[in-house]
């Protein structure tokens, strides 16, 4: 019942729209001309030829817009710096070792190999744990 009422209301609105459009044109159904011919002896004089913005207004508008952009950029950068990880984390090296590149460079080859082996064993233990805890 509600669906039928909604369909009838939509149909009524669609049928009422053309009638309103015809009513706007008036009785002769001919639109008025877009431009009117100036009558003889009547001249239009533009008393204020400068209708644009002054230089000061343009400078204030663009300066204000630039200030808003700079403020937003500063706020984003400040927030990003606050959320960034600390210096002690650093980036991991391409060789797969963790820590800062200076810390990796100070290790011997044997220490790096042991560290990689520990990481592999830990990852394997995590995978095995996930396999054991799977729902069955």
Domain ranges of the chain: 108-136
The per-residue pLDDT of the chain, averaged, comes to 78
Can you state the percent helix, strand and coil of the chain, rounding each to 5?
60, 0, 40
The predicted structure's pLDDT at residue 70: 97
pLDDT for the residue 98 = 53
Residue 121's φ and ψ, nearest 5 degrees, are -65, -40
Per-residue pLDDT at 106: 79
State the DSSP H helix or E strand holding residue 129, giving kind and residue range, or none if neither: helix 109-132
Q: What does pTM read for this prediction?
A: 0.31
């Amino acid at each position: 019942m509600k669906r039928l009422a909604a369909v009838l209301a939509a149909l009524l609105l669609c049928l009422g729209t053309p009638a309103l459009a015809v009513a706007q044109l008036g009785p002769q159904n001919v639109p008025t001309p877009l431009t009117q011919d100036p009558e003889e002896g009547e001249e239009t004089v533009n008393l204020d030829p400068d209708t644009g913005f002054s230089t000061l207004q343009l400078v204030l508008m663009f300066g204000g817009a630039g200030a808003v952009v700079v403020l937003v950029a500063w706020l984003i950068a400040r927030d990003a710096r606050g959320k960034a990880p600390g210096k002690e984390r650093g980036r991991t090296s391409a060789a797969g070792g963790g820590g800062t590149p200076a810390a990796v460079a100070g290790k011997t080859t044997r220490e790096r190999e042991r560290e990689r082996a520990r990481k592999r064993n830990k990852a394997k233990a995590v995978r095995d744990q996930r396999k054991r805890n799977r729902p069955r």
